[in-house]
Amino acid sequence: MTLNVEKNNKPSSKTWDKVSENYTNFINDDEIDLAIELMMLFNSLDLDIDNSLLELGSGSGHLSGIFSKYGYEVSLLDFSEVALSKSMDFFNNHSMEGHFIKGDLMELNLLDQQYDVTWNSGVMEHFDDKSLFESLKSIRRVTKKKFIFLVPNPDSLPYLLFRQKLMAEGKWEYGEEYLRNDYDAFLEKSGFKLIKKEFLGWNYSESQLKMLLKNNIPTKGLSKLVKNNLFSKENSYLIAYVAEPYHTSEMEHNWKGEFKGNTEAKTHIFDQIANQIHGSIGSSSTFNRKYLEITSTINQTFECLLNAVNPCSDSEEVTSNMQVFIDNVNCLIQMSEDVIDEESNVKFEELLKSIDSILGKFIEEYKNGYITNCKALVNKQLLLKFDEWQSYLSRYIEPDLQKDKEQSED
C-alpha cells in the first residue's frame, strides 16, 4: 500500500551541538556589518531599544551580543546545550547582559511571556513544510509586534556555488537547508502577515565569492558594483522577512499538506547533484556514493521510527511515519546489498534477518495498538541493530574510501 506521506524534518540538536563546538568569542566583520544592517531594519520599523528581543535559535549569540551593547534588552533561546554555554561565555567575556533560555522553538508554549520582537538568522531554512508550519504557529504565541527572520537566499548564485562546493568536498555540516521561496504562504497560514522583505548580508556573498575564487577577487570593486546597482543586490546571501501576528483568536489551523510546494523536491535535487560531484572527487568508487546514501537514509529512518511512536502524534501521522519507515527499510536493504560482496553477505544477511524479525514484532504490536511496546522495541532492540548495521557498513566500506582518497592525493 502506498500512502501520501508527509515527512517531518526539523533541525537536530546533535548536529548543532557539533557545529557549536567551533564557536568562539571573536566577532568577525561580516557579523558586525549584518548586525548594523539589522539595527537599521529595526529603526525603519520603529523598533527602538525599549523593545524586548528574543532570538530563537541563537547559536553563537554574536548578533544578540552586539544588540545588547547598543542597549537592547535581549533574550537568547537555543536547544543546544553547547551553543548556550558558548554564547554565555561570549557574553561574559565581553561584559554584556542577556537572558538565556534552554528550549525548543517548536515548544514556545512553555514560555511564560511574550516578546516585542522575536527573530532569528539562519534557522527557519532547516524546517521542512510541516515543521515550518508548526514552528511558525509556535513563534506566533510569543510574538507581540514583529517576527523577523533571516534565511539564505535560494536565488543567490554565490550562496549556491559556495554550498555546492562544500558539499562536493564533503565539508557541509549544517544539516538540511531548504531552498525555499514560499515563506509568505506559510506565514499567512500560520497567523502572520508579511509586511516587508529585504536583501541583506552582501558581505557574506563577497566572502563566499572570495573563497570560491581562492581570494583572487577585487572585493572593493564588487561592493561598488552593488552600490551602483550594476550587480544585483538580489544575489545577497540573506533575505530578511518581517511579519506581524494577526490579532485574532481563530488562527488554530492544523497541517493538512494543502500548501505543499516544490521546495523539498528542489532541495533534494540540488543536494543530490552536489553529493554526486562529491562521489566523483578523488574517487571513482561507487562505494563512496552508496555509503553516503545509506547513512543518510538510516538517519531519516531513525527519525521516522521515533516519530511513529511519539505519543503526541495522531493516528494519521503514525500511519504516515510507519509507511516511510517501512519504505526506507526496504530501500536500505537493497542499497546495502548492492555494496556488500558475496564473502561478507553471510554475516550481513543474519543481521538483516534479525532486523526483519524485530520489525515484524513492531508492526504486530503497532496494529494491536500497543504503542508502549512499540517504543520499547525501538529503544531496546531495533535502534541497537541499526547501529550495528551502520557500524558494519562503516567497517566494510570506509577503508575503501580512505584508500581512494590516498590514491587521489598521490
**Same domain flag for 219 and 104:** yes
**Same domain flag for 241 and 288:** no
User: For position 287, what pLDDT does the model report?
Assistant: 46
**Same domain flag for 228 and 95:** yes
Give the strands of the sheet with 73-78, arranged side by side: 99-102, 73-78, 52-56, 115-121, 143-152, 238-245, 192-200
d(CA 349, CA 342): 11
Per-residue burial over 375-389, b = 16 or more CB atoms within 10 Å of its CB, e = otherwise = bebbeebbeebbeeb
Which of 196, 224, 245 is the C-terminal boundary of a domain? 245
Which of 185, 216, 245 is the C-terminal boundary of a domain? 245
369 within domain boundaries: yes
270 within domain boundaries: no
d(CA 262, CA 179): 9
Q: Give mean pLDDT in consecutive 10-residue pieces for the chain, a chain of 410 residues.
A: 37 73 88 95 96 96 96 95 94 96 93 95 92 94 97 93 87 87 92 95 86 66 63 86 78 57 75 63 44 55 57 57 61 56 56 65 67 60 61 53 49
Longest CA–CA separation in the chain, Å: 70
- The range of the structural domain enclosing residue 199 comes to 13-245
The x, y and z cell numbers of residue 125, run together, are 531554512
**Same domain flag for 301 and 201:** no
**Same domain flag for 230 and 327:** no
268 within domain boundaries: no
**Same domain flag for 83 and 203:** yes
4 within domain boundaries: no
How far is the first Cα of the chain from the last one, in angstroms, to the nearest whole number?
A: 51
User: For position 37, what pLDDT does the model report?
Assistant: 95
Is the distance from CB of 223 to CB of 210 less than 8 angstroms? no
**Same domain flag for 241 and 297:** no
Please report, for the domain that includes residue 196, its CATH number: 3.40.50.150
**Same domain flag for 236 and 381:** no
**Same domain flag for 214 and 314:** no
**Same domain flag for 188 and 326:** no
User: For position 33, what pLDDT does the model report?
Assistant: 93
87 within domain boundaries: yes
Size of the chain in residues: 410
310 within domain boundaries: yes
228 within domain boundaries: yes
Please report, for the domain that includes residue 299, its CATH number: 1.20.120
- Number of structural domains found in the chain: 2
**Same domain flag for 163 and 229:** yes
Which of 215, 245, 275 is the C-terminal boundary of a domain? 245
**Same domain flag for 311 and 387:** yes
DSSP sequence for 12-53: -HHHHHHHHTT--SPPPHHHHHHHHHHHHHHHHTT--TTSEE
275 within domain boundaries: no
What residue has cell string 543481521? 351
d(CA 317, CA 322): 8
